[in-house]
């Protein structure tokens, strides 16, 4: 029997790994001690639920049912400052639905917690490798902001690794997640059934000028790398205006100045440029504008610019059969309090859609806040989501593939 109390207890237990001490927030980046401890605990909970534990070289952790099954899950790593539900909700709801199905003779359900969804090293790195979007060799070459290579970081999970996990055993994938935006909360609704997931592009850009003394170097002789970033950003916002829509987003979320000292004109600035949109052509057009603007800015200021590797995922639509099962379940659990909606956040489901039919459902985020310690959702909404997921699994038994 589906057990909401057991589900909530596990969800709260998971946030004890890497608890930030601020609200319910967590600090559990991929392969950190807290992440590895959480995955070791999860492996035990999967085993207790009667699932066979498997873990691939990347650290994607699976609890497998016997025979063909539906795969449910999400990720249990967090942003450097993360909320307790982002990813965790999808993993623990999957565990509860799989456990209840085992107990009551329901359809076979497997569980996954993908590794590095939050992109310490790339973009949804674990599911990107599992789905074949990215080779393990290429992933191993990725580095985090401190210069640590993924090849080294993933050594922290060696004790859990069992080998490759064959995707052919899964009939489809459903990921439950918090919305991470304001739509459901503002409307007082409980469930969002996702129609599609936007695409993303992410690239590091480096301006190189001349490091110099901040007291003696006249302004007109400086080659200040921070001034280049500032000018680039202003020009970019202006040049985007005829290309973007109100749904398009772009972010400079990480910047590193060298040598980052008050009395030194910075000689180098490395920063992340990320942009997201549902239209692939628009993403490509934005890339042209970004490269062009950065080159023009460097030229104007007498500096050098270089571009890092372009990472990204294309927009994807959800599978109509699995989505229909979620819509039917939402109509029963939350009549008149659900909607269809796109996902502006990225999810592992995008990568998994290369392998099998995928669908997603959302529950509200209070105040639309996520990627912050304050992230939260009313327990009644968490449980409504769990019930929709469970009902959808039962609705789609017999299912979609194979």
Residues that bind ligand HGY (CB under 6 A): 117-119, 345-346
Partner interacting with residue 346 (select from Mn ion, ligand HGY, none; CB below 5-8 Å by kind): ligand HGY
Nearest residue (CB) to ligand HGY, 106 versus 119:
119
Nearest residue (CB) to ligand HGY, 2 versus 200:
200
User: What are the φ/ψ torsions at residue 224 (nearest 5 degrees)?
Assistant: -95, 115
Check: CB of residue 268 under 8 Å from CB of residue 208: yes
Nearest residue (CB) to Mn ion, 87 versus 199:
87
Q: What is the CA radius of gyration of the chain?
A: 22
Nearest residue (CB) to Mn ion, 86 versus 319:
86
Tell me, residue by residue from 76 to 115, as one string, x for binding to Mn ion by CB under 5 A and - for no binding.
----------xx----------------------------
Q: Which residues contact 246 (CB under 8 A, 6 or more apart)?
A: none
Minimum separation from the CB atom of position 247 to Mn ion (A): 18
Q: What is the DSSP string of 149-201?
A: BHHHHGGGGGGG------GGGEEEEEEEEE--SSHHHHHT--EEEEEEE-EEE
Size of the site for Mn ion (CB under 5 A): 2
Minimum separation from the CB atom of position 77 to Mn ion (A): 9
Nearest residue (CB) to Mn ion, 28 versus 201:
28
Residue 168 burial by Cβ neighbours in a 10 Å radius (0-12, 13-18, 19+): exposed
Q: Which of 40, 43, 101, 44 is nearest to 70 (CA)?
A: 101
Minimum separation from the CB atom of position 371 to ligand HGY (A): 7
Near Mn ion in 313-352, by CB under 5 A: none
CA distance 75 to 311: 20
Minimum separation from the CB atom of position 21 to Mn ion (A): 20
Nearest residue (CB) to ligand HGY, 117 versus 189:
117
Minimum separation from the CB atom of position 346 to Mn ion (A): 8
Partner interacting with residue 116 (select from Mn ion, ligand HGY, none; CB below 5-8 Å by kind): none
Minimum separation from the CB atom of position 346 to ligand HGY (A): 4
Q: Which of 109, 96, 100 is nearest to 7 (CA)?
A: 96
Minimum separation from the CB atom of position 109 to ligand HGY (A): 24
Q: C-alpha distances in angstroms, 393 versus 39, 42, 86, 233?
A: 24, 21, 21, 46
Cross-strand partners of 81: none
CA distance 2 to 148: 42
Nearest residue (CB) to ligand HGY, 177 versus 268:
177
CA distance 325 to 395: 6
Partner interacting with residue 224 (select from ligand HGY, Mn ion, none; CB below 5-8 Å by kind): none
Q: Which of 26, 119, 114, 32 is nearest to 76 (CA)?
A: 114
Judged by CB under 5 A, does residue 364 bind Mn ion? Answer: no
Which residues contact Mn ion (rule: CB under 5 A)? 86-87
């Amino acid at each position: 029997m589906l057990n909401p109390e057991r589900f909530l207890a596990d969800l709260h237990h998971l946030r004890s790994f890497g608890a930030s001490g601020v609200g319910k927030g967590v600090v559990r980046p991929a392969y950190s001690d807290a992440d590895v401890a959480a995955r070791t605990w999860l492996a035990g909970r999967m085993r207790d639920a009667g699932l066979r534990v498997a873990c691939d070289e990347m650290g994607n952790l699976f609890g497998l049912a016997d025979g063909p099954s539906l795969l449910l899950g999400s990720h249990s790593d967090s942003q450097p400052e993360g909320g307790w539900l982002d990813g965790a909700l999808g993993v623990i709801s999957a565990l509860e639905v799989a456990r209840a199905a085992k107990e009551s003779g329901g359809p076979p359900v497997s569980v996954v917690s993908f590794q590095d969804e939050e992109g310490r090293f790339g973009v949804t790195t674990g599911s990107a490798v599992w789905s074949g979007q990215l080779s393990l060799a290429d992933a191993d070459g990725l580095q985090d902001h401190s210069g640590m290579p993924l090849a080294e970081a993933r050594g922290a999970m060696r004790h859990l690794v069992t080998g490759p996990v064959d995707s052919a055993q899964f009939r489809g994938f459903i990921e439950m997640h918090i919305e991470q935006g304001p739509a459901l909360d503002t409307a007082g609704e409980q469930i969002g059934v996702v129609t599609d997931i936007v695409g993303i592009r992410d690239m590091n850009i480096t301006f190189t000028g001349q490091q110099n003394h901040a007291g003696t170097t006249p302004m007109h002789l400086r080659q200040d790398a921070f001034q280049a970033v500032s000018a680039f950003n202003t020009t970019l916002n202006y040049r985007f205006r005829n290309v973007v829509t109100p749904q398009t987003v772009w972010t400079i979320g990480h910047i590193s100045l060298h040598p980052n000292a008050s009395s030194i004109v910075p000689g180098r600035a490395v920063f992340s440029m990320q942009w997201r949109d549902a239209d692939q052509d628009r993403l490509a057009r934005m890339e042209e504008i970004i490269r062009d603007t950065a080159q023009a800015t460097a030229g104007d200021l007498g500096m050098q610019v270089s571009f890092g590797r372009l990472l990204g995922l294309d927009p994807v639509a959800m599978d109509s059969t699995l989505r229909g099962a979620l819509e039917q379940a939402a109509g029963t659990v939350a009549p008149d309090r659900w909607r269809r909606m796109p996902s502006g956040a990225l999810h592992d489901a995008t990568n998994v859609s290369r392998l099998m039919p995928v669908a997603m459902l959302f529950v509200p985020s209070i105040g639309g806040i996520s990627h912050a310690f304050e992230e939260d959702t009313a327990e009644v909404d968490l449980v409504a989501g769990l019930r929709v997921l469970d009902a959808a699994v039962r609705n789609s038994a017999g299912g979609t593939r194979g």
